[in-house]
């Protein structure tokens, strides 16, 4: 080991680096005699020996614990690399199957509700004095129930059930006429029953109509007004030219700018009878009524026109309908 160190590193006998001639036989003779005598110059050369019977893998695994390697890996490897999943698995994870099954069940429940499954139950409306939840043809989804209530308040008369069904569309329009009439009767009878009950809500008695709260008195009043209006209109052979309002109603402040008069009030009622209360665009476009230039088109906003729009027309028509009773 000493010879190897002196020859390779070009050290002199004192252990210092030298630029002189290479190691010679004279140096070898000196070293041999010095070893026999235990010379101190040999002991001053400190040479480290790293020779070991262990291979590199065994040595480093003994020096560095596996736990430390794992922690170091988590710290330096990017998150995306740590989250790599294998897609070669034959069977998906159990949690994935549970989520997939739960999603399919929720879609199935929604489909049953939309189809009117009799097993679907809606939460009870607090304060309702009557309830309509079932029909011989099945249940009614809340969205269609809401549209049906609005359509009944537009046309009001049972004989116009076909117009009501078209306005609602959906499953109501697709249902047979017997089912449509049954639904109409259920709403009116339910409102009458609710109106006879105890008044819990200060705003009026409520009907629970397939989960939709209905002001019973509002529906009954509107239906009665539209029925009386239809009875009056039917008395004239040519209602567009002969029909008039029963009493004079003070003109609204906005009516002066558009030229609406008492005849226009009668035609507004006639339009509500023919096209439905609230279908103002259809009323405007009916040339027989003469509102083309007196009612604002539906696409115009309040600051874009001085003509009456839906809110003003609704208030005026409601006041005129109250005079019919």
Residues 146 and 197 placed together within one structural domain of the fold: yes
Q: Where are the alpha helices (DSSP H) in the chain?
A: 2-9, 25-37, 40-43, 56-63, 66-76, 79-82, 94-114, 142-155, 161-168, 170-174, 177-196, 216-233, 239-242, 255-258, 262-275, 280-285, 310-324
Note the pLDDT tens digit of each residue in 276-312. 999 999 999 999 999 998 999 988 887 788 888 999 9
For residue 63, tell me if it sits in a domain: no
Q: What is the pLDDT of residue 99?
A: 47
Residues 209 and 253 placed together within one structural domain of the fold: no
Note the pLDDT tens digit of each residue in 137-163. 778 899 999 999 999 999 999 999 999
Using the 3D structure, point to which of 231, 265, 287 is the last residue of a domain. 231
For residue 196, tell me if it sits in a domain: yes
Residues 298 and 205 placed together within one structural domain of the fold: no
Note the pLDDT tens digit of each residue in 241-281. 889 887 888 888 888 778 788 899 999 999 999 999 999 99
Residues 166 and 220 placed together within one structural domain of the fold: yes
Residues 274 and 196 placed together within one structural domain of the fold: no
**Total domains, the chain:** 3
- Name the residue range of residue 179's domain: 114-231
Question: pTM for the full model?
Answer: 0.61
Listed residue (115, 162, 161) closest to 139, CA to CA: 115
Using the 3D structure, point to which of 183, 200, 231 is the last residue of a domain. 231
For residue 65, tell me if it sits in a domain: no
For residue 197, tell me if it sits in a domain: yes
């Amino acid at each position: 080991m000493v010879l190897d160190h002196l020859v390779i590193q070009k050290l002199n006998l004192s252990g210092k680096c030298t630029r002189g001639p290479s190691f010679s036989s004279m140096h070898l003779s000196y070293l041999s005699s010095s070893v026999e005598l235990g010379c101190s110059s040999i002991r001053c050369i400190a040479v480290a020996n790293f020779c070991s019977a262990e291979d590199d893998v065994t040595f480093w695994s003994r020096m560095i614990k596996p736990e430390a390697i794992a922690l170091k890996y988590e710290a330096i490897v990017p998150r995306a690399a740590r989250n790599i999943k294998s897609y070669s698995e034959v069977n998906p994870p159990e949690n994935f199957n549970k989520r997939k099954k739960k999603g399919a069940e929720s879609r199935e429940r929604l489909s049953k509700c939309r189809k009117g499954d009799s097993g679907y139950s809606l939460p009870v409306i607090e304060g309702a004095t009557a309830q309509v939840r079932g029909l011989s043809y099945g249940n009614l989804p809340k969205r269609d129930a809401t549209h049906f209530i609005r359509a009944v308040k537009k046309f009001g008369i049972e004989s116009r059930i076909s117009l009501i069904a078209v306005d609602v569309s959906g499953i109501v329009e697709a249902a047979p006429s017997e089912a449509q009439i049954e639904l109409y009767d259920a709403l009116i009878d339910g409102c009458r029953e609710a109106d006879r009950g105890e008044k819990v809500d200060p705003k009026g008695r409520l009907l629970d109509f397939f989960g939709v709260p209905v002001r019973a008195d509002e529906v009954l009043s509107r239906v009665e007004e539209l029925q009386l209006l239809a009875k009056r209109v039917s008395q004239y052979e040519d209602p567009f030219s002969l029909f008039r309002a029963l009493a004079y109603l003070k003109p609204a402040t906005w009516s002066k700018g558009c030229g609406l008069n008492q005849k226009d009030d009668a035609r507004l009622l006639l339009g509500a009878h023919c096209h439905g209360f609230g279908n103002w665009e259809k009323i405007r476009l009916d040339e027989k009524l003469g509102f083309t230039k007196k009612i604002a088109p539906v696409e115009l906003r309040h600051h874009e026109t001085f003509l009456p729009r839906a809110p003003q027309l609704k208030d005026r028509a409601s006041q005129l309908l109250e005079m019919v009773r």
